Amino acid sequence: MDEKLNEEFQHIKFSPEVVQMFEAILKRDDVHRQILKFIARKRQEKENVSILQLIENIKTNRRVKILNKKGFHYEQQETLIDRKSAERIVDKLASMSLIHYKYMTPYKLLYLTHRGLQLLQVLEQNQQILEEEGE
């Protein structure tokens, strides 16, 4: 969602059913949730977020090719997310209208929308409830 489209529809909030659906989507993919939380955290710190910052800060578990004497094999390792994956996730979050972007040549600055904040608040509340039940 670009800046102009965000301004046009910024007053619209998600219905509870849509929040529940997006919450289920984000619970299934840890990297999407990490990126959304990273953008929110930087928003609180009044900092701009770019794709470059995401690939320098977001880690994920993925299969990595390991070379050995006989050839190679794959192992699960925690590594930084690659640029292509970060761009795809940002596009997906923007399509869900959870974030919007602003072009500042040569960067694409990312910002959380009110709907993204609404979804993060529900995720945090549900996580706190789960933690309380676990104690």
Per-residue pLDDT of 19-60, as tens digits, reads 999 999 998 999 999 999 999 999 999 998 999 999 999 999
Query: What domain count does the chain have?
Result: 1
Comparing CA positions, the residue from 20, 29, 41 lying closest to residue 88 is 29
Q: Which domain holds residue 10?
A: 3-134
pTM: 0.85
So what's the pLDDT on residue 133? 78
Contact 86, 51 (CB under 8 A): yes
Give the per-residue pLDDT at 52. 93
Is-contact 37 120, C-beta < 8 A? Answer: yes
CATH number at residue 37: 1.10.10.10
Residue 39 · residue 86 · CB < 8 Å: no
